[in-house]
Chains A and B, each alone.
Chain A
Amino acid sequence: MSTDVSMPIEQTPIAGVTTIVDRKPAVIFGLATAGLALILLFAGVSDDTTFRLATPDDWAELPAVTVPAAPTAWLLVLICALCTAVSVSLLLKERRTPMVLVVVFAISWMIGFLTWAAAGASIPMVGLLAGSLALAVPLVFGALGGVLGERAGVVNIAIDGQLLAGAFAAAVVGSMTGVTWFGLVAAMAAGMLVALLLGLFAISYFVDQVIVGVVLNVLIIGLTSFMFSQVLAPNAESLNNPPRFDKIDIPVLGGIPLIGPILFRQTAVVYILYVVVALVTWALYRTRWGLRVRAVGEHPQAADTVGIKVNRTRYRTIILAGAIAGMGGAFYTLVSVPQFNREMTGGAGYIALAAVIFGKWDPIRATLAALLFGFASNLQGVLSVIGSPVPSQFMLMLPYVVTIFAVAGLVGRSRAPAADGVPYIKG
């Protein structure tokens, strides 16, 4: 997944010093298991829970699984507790918790929670997961843009502005030309334009990057809302009626039960996303370009000394990042909703920013964080439909609370690139 270079410092064994092992997994496992057990103790359930796993076009139809809620949930709590015990014993031996254990724990915990939350009802698993992916797509694009910018040393608070500008441009150009791909390209251009503004003020004029980011967001909200009321709303038919990407069912892969309908019956934008995630990760860690980007983000002076043009590299990186974030914006108007609306991103850019930090400035982890946040908001929607005991607002609050915990270092410290947010002044 990631090379040694990308590893946060506290996880890297240092010669001659006691090996420091990340305590994070053990702590999180313990807290999460205890939390689930408490929920079951104080709000016990007695009904059955049904998981629906199949969709019509699968090769083999998986049967719906019906389980008694309480015993199943307790069984899964037991599995979680076992995982915690293993993690703690590994920690005492100063060894890291393997990824497999994290995955087993996460799945058991989630199914345990769902079993409890949906007792007496049935959960469409495919719909739940596919919906999560749909909600997470703009977040992942935004988070990737954020990771790239911050790795090069430019804090990008304006992700939200880039998403919104992308959504706006995609809607207008898509409607005018009637071609979805032109809309997508326009969204990328809009994202790049916002990035260029960010660069102009933050890199060339040394204005504080956070201030520029916040103000750019306000500017884009103002501009798009103004244009929406003034131009788009009166001419909705010709300017705010974009075509939409069709779902493409990938042969063979799309037929795999459970996974197929979630991952391989999506629109072209989602397939582009898979490629972009892989490309960004590969480029950032395995190419000369990526090494340079990380160098100007960590130690611009050293990079300058060996002949890397710091500000040019930063400009190129954030403009690329802007194009990626802009594509995320296009997802709103070319896939999710058939038209642009004022402030339609609803602050998704800030969640993407949270994903960047929670994902420790690593493309893969940021993607996973964005998927997690997408899952949390979609779970809220599904649970409120089947009528669950958890207030929806608390599910929606989850990404933000998690991020506060992450930045406050209560569960392992997040370390930003060293020169993140610092303008480089030569000389």
Chain B
Amino acid sequence: MSTPDNEPGSEPGTEPGTEPGDTRTQESARPEPEHRDADRWGGVLREIASGRAMTAFLSVLLAVIVGSLLIAATDEAVRDASKYLFAAPGDFFSAAWDSIWGAYTALFRGSIYNTNGADFETKIRPLTETCKFAAPLIAAGLGVGLAFRASMFNIGGRGQMLMAGAAAGWVGYQFDLPWPLHLTLAVVAGMVAGALWGGLAGFLKARTGAHEVILTIMLNYVAFYLLFYALSEQSLLQAPGSLNPKSLPMKESAVMPKLLGDRYNLHLGFVLALVAVAVVWWILNRSALGFRIRAVGLNADAARAAGINVGRTYTTVMLIAGALVGLAGANQVLGTVTSGIGVDLDAGIGFDAITVALLGRSRPLGILGAGLLFGAFKAGGFAMQASQNIPVDIVLVVQSLIVLFIAAPPLIQAIFRLPAKEAK
């Protein structure tokens, strides 16, 4: 193992001793271009997948600390107190503490347990909200994570959700069917649409060698404009007589039923997400397909040599991934916002799913945990905005910081001065 070259821009606190040698891909022997690509992905994703709980925990901690500093730094009261920092330092620190404490108690009250609630039913309501927000994150996170396992980067969550939402919503308002059948049909339609949109990227990659990152990013925009067009044409999805890009609301028979009665917003989508976790776990760990996916992800060349059709595996993985993201799209249209299809039905979940999959280390159970955490951030973020006037965008900052830190274990080790062996 080599020591990394000390380039001027590298983190000054990184002593050679804290550099873990084996978290990096060996690039010394140059494979041929197309193979190296797969190697690179495999190495990185392996690295993410093998990151230990300690690094994950410290990453979350560090991201929350940075978020706190940001909240304190932009708080009006703190800035006022900082003007006489040296005269009354106590005021400054108590103002800073107040703003941070206020933010995080609001986050907790909004996402887990509302201590200000009148009765137990009200107090526990935030937890159900967390689950509601977590459901699409888990489903879409599974879609991104499954692609990761085959060394593919599915940034197309947004496009897949939009196509799925459009299909599920169209079935949801167009047809008159009895309850369980209608809902089932709508969900399946959404998953199929998502699968086709995701599979298109996989197919193009398999057939032409185009990079799926570029393909999925571009397909996101194509999906957006297609949906926008369909929603501005009366003959397609737009509600009759409406001028807004919005469709008719869902029929009762296609709406996901509430799980805990009308008092809570939690709906069937959460159960479907849990089922999806189980199914993906089974596919990955118990099926021949999962074996092929993991083999292609670890080393596409070896998989090809062993007789696995790599191209077909790419297409299949993206089909399933698209279906899972499609489930998230159906969840939004049929469960969370049933007032009709809109161009913003994805609500940023397609991109959040990437961070969920990375934090969850692309394992189904990890994604479940990460989805719940980010669901809590979302539910709490809105509560924080309402009660403390802290913009919900802080959640984006914390989320992206978590992922950045997790992806770079050496940085975390350097910051917390951990010996490399313990943190790994």
Contact = CB atoms under 8 A, between A and B. Distances in A.
Contact of B9 (A204, A214, A393): A204
B218 A400 contact: yes
A403 B403 CA distance: 29
A407 B217 CA distance: 12
A301 interface: yes
A404 B215 CA distance: 6
Contacts of B33: 418
Nearest to A230: B74
Contacts of A354: 214, 218
17 contacts: A208-B40, A208-B407, A212-B407, A218-B400, A226-B396, A230-B390, A230-B391, A311-B9, A315-B9, A354-B218, A393-B226, A404-B222, A407-B214, A408-B207, A425-B2, A425-B4, A426-B5
A177 interface: no
A36 to B, nearest CB: 21
Interface string A191-233: 0000010011101111110111011101101110111111100
Given A204-B10, A218-B399, A425-B2, A397 B226 contact: yes
A212 B44 CA distance: 12
Interface stretch (B22-30, B52-60, B165-173): B22-30
A165 to B, nearest CB: 13
B222 A397 contact: yes
Interface residues of B, number: 66
A247 interface: no
Nearest to A231: B74
Given A404-B215, A407-B210, 10 more contacts: A201-B408, A205-B411, A208-B407, A216-B400, A222-B396, A230-B391, A400-B222, A421-B40, A425-B4, A425-B27
A208 B44 contact: yes
What are the nearest 6 A-B pairs in CB distance? A427-B2, A222-B396, A229-B391, A219-B400, A225-B393, A393-B229
Interface in A397-427: 397, 400-401, 403-404, 407-410, 418, 421-427
Nearest to A213: B213
Contact of B217 (A196, A228, A231, A353): A353
B11 A200 contact: yes
Nearest to A342: B393
Contacts of A315: 7-9
Contacts of B10: 200, 204
The winner among A203, A208, A403, A418 for most chain B CB atoms within 10 A is A208
A301 B153 contact: no
Given A225-B396, A353-B217, A404-B215, A211 B44 contact: yes
A350 interface: yes
Contacts of A229: 391, 393
A387 interface: no
A222 B397 contact: yes
Interface stretch (B115-123, B278-286, B294-302, B350-358): B350-358
Contact of B155 (A200, A214, A219, A423): A214
A347 B221 contact: yes
B204 A204 contact: no
Contacts of B14: 204
The winner among B4, B74, B393 for most chain A CB atoms within 10 A is B393
Contacts of A422: 27, 36, 40
B179 to A, nearest CB: 35
Contacts of A199: 9
Contacts of A347: 221
Given A200-B9, A219-B397, A418-B33, A397 B44 contact: no
A79 interface: no
A219 B214 CA distance: 20
Contacts of A211: 44, 153, 358, 403, 407
The winner among A201, A203, A222 for most chain B CB atoms within 10 A is A222
A394 B393 contact: no
A309 interface: yes
Given A210-B153, A407-B210, A425-B27, A225 B407 contact: no
Contact of B7 (A227, A311, A408): A311
A201 B219 contact: no
A190 interface: no
Contacts of A389: none
B184 interface: no
A208 B46 CA distance: 11
Interface of A: 157, 196, 199-201, 203-208, 210-212, 214-216, 218-219, 221-223, 225-231, 234, 301, 309, 311-312, 315, 342, 347, 350, 353-354, 357, 391, 393-394, 396-397, 400-401, 403-404, 407-410, 418, 421-427
Contacts of B395: 222
B62 interface: no
B270 interface: no
A214 B7 contact: no
A55 B228 CA distance: 36
Interface in B139-164: 153, 155
A226 B2 contact: no
A201 B410 CA distance: 10
B424 interface: no
A218 B204 CA distance: 27
B232 interface: yes
Nearest to B27: A425
B401 interface: yes
A376 to B, nearest CB: 12
Contacts of A230: 74, 390-391
Interface string B331-355: 0000000000000000000010011
Contacts of A350: 217, 221
Given A219-B400, A357-B214, A393-B232, A426 B9 contact: no
Nearest to B24: A206
B84 interface: no
Nearest to A410: B208
Contacts of A309: 7
Given A210-B213, A215-B400, A393-B225, A427 B28 contact: yes
A418 B30 CA distance: 11
Contacts of A421: 40
A408 B215 CA distance: 8
Contacts of A222: 393-397, 399-400
Contacts of A397: 221-222, 225-226
Contacts of B268: none
Contact of A215 (B30, B76, B355): B355
A226 B70 contact: yes
B420 to A, nearest CB: 13
Contacts of B214: 353-354, 357, 403, 407
